[in-house]
Amino acid sequence: MFLSSTSPLRTKKTQAIGIPVIDLSLDTVTLSHHIVTACQDYGFFKVVNHGVPIQVVSKMEEAVHGFFSKPASEKVKVKANPPSPFGYGCRNIGFNGDVGELEYILLQANSLTSTSSDTFNVVAEQPTNFRCAVDDYIQAVKELTCGLLKILAFGLSLSDTDVFGRLIQDVDSDSCFRVNHYPGIKSESNQPKPAHRIGFGEHSDPQIFTILRSNDVPGLQISTAHGLWIPITTEPTDFCVFVGDVLEVLTNGRFKSVRHRVMANMSNRSRMSMMYFAAPSLNQWISPIPEMISPGTLTLYKSFTWNEYKKAAYSLRLADKRIDHFKCQ
């Protein structure tokens, strides 16, 4: 489809045919058409020429690398404390028994000042540097997200092209930032390679949009509408964009949130991914945008607040289709 012509390696070595790679330097009309089509067909696309400075990404990567290299005894000092999911986690995902072959750190994106400064002191030797790296990274990916959402609204011919972006620009937006670290295979030359295992199990993201950046270690897979798993390869300079459950609702099901998972034990090197989950404020009402309900079609989802949706997500298992609980009968 929109395979970038700039990287023959990508097409040759890795990329499954059809996965959209969208060049953000294209003109707005072409771009909006590509983005709408990608959201409709896959709920997923990759972006190149996105304008996020490489230094911002590498500074962030160095900061988290420093954190994950610390001894476990240091990392658990910022362990997530249920019911708050924020902080460091190892293997456990959510609160209902899901596990994966990873360790991670989950932070609030919009109110870093409210994240305990203890977290930052332990997270980095030089806490100010860590905070600065996170702030700059989040600022850059948030701008990218808002730009994409504006073009998306334009492509959908919505009268208010800020209808999506406004939700994440809200001062109380509940967006969050996560870094996942999937350790590589420990190479024991006389041992057979261990089988691939689940790094992060199948799920859709509850929010509006997710912006992912990872190193070049494979593992990410997305599911097509027909349930076929497609491996996604990434260049460290690209970003991947995922449609989340809230965008599915806002578009009255025209876009479907994409189910995805990460396989672990794919390489001797470890996989590191960073995700910005763009979310509305907790008290924001979510319902299909009236212009997305064409005459003669049904409203597919009920109205709910983001807080209600989030609570439902944390009361269910990772793989559950939580959006089904919010469908009209």
Catalytic residue ranges = 271
Smallest distance, ligand GA4 to C-beta of residue 87, A: 10
- Rounded to a whole number of angstroms, the minimum distance from the CB of residue 93 to ligand GA4 is 5
Q: Which of residues 97-116 bind ligand GA4 (CB under 6 A)?
A: 98, 106
Q: Taking Cα atoms as reference points, which of 91, 77, 274, 60 lies closest to residue 183?
A: 91
> Closest Cα to residue 198, out of 261, 267, 145, 131?
261
Q: Whole-angstrom Cα distance, residue 166 to residue 40?
A: 22
What is the total count of residues that contact ligand GA4 (CB under 6 A)? Answer: 14
178 near ligand GA4, judged by CB under 6 A: yes
d(CA 162, CA 153) in angstroms, rounded, equals: 7
| Phi, psi values for residue 105, rounded to 5° | -130, 135
Alpha carbons 159 and 143: distance in angstroms, whole number: 21
Output 87 or 165, the one with its CB closest to ligand GA4: 87
Dihedral, 283, 287, 291, 292 alpha carbons, nearest 10: 130
Considering only residues 261 through 300, tell me which ones interact with ligand GA4, judged by CB under 6 A: 277
CB 323, CB 249: distance < 8 Å: yes
Told to check if 314 binds ligand GA4 by CB under 6 A, we report yes
* Angle 21-185-229 from CA coordinates, rounded to 5°: 35
CB of 244 to ligand GA4, least distance (A): 8
Q: Which residue number, 38 or 107, has a Cβ lying nearer to ligand GA4?
A: 107
CB of 32 to ligand GA4, least distance (A): 27
| Minimum distance of ligand GA4 from residue 173's CB (angstroms) | 13
Using the contact rule CB under 6 A, the part of the chain among 34-42, 122-130, 227-235, 310-318 near ligand GA4 is 310-318
Among residues 107 and 292, whose Cβ is nearest to ligand GA4?
107
- Pair 328, 300: CB distance under 8 Å: yes
Contact flag: residue 87 with ligand GA4 (CB under 6 A): no
Residues 46-75 that bind ligand GA4 (CB under 6 A): none
| Cα–Cα distance, 176 to 170 (Å, whole number) | 14
Q: Does 203 bind ligand GA4 (CB under 6 A)?
A: yes
- One of 87, 165, 199, 206 touching ligand GA4 (CB under 6 A): 206
- SS3 assignment, position 137: helix
Choices 144-152, 198-206, 218-226, 252-260; region in contact with ligand GA4 by CB under 6 A: 198-206
259 makes contact with ligand GA4 (CB under 6 A): no
Q: How far apart are CA 101 and CA 200, in angstroms?
A: 7
- The interaxial angle of helices 127-155 and 54-68, nearest 10 deg, is 130
Binding site for ligand GA4 (CB under 6 A): 85, 93-94, 98, 106, 176, 178, 203, 205-206, 277, 313-314, 318
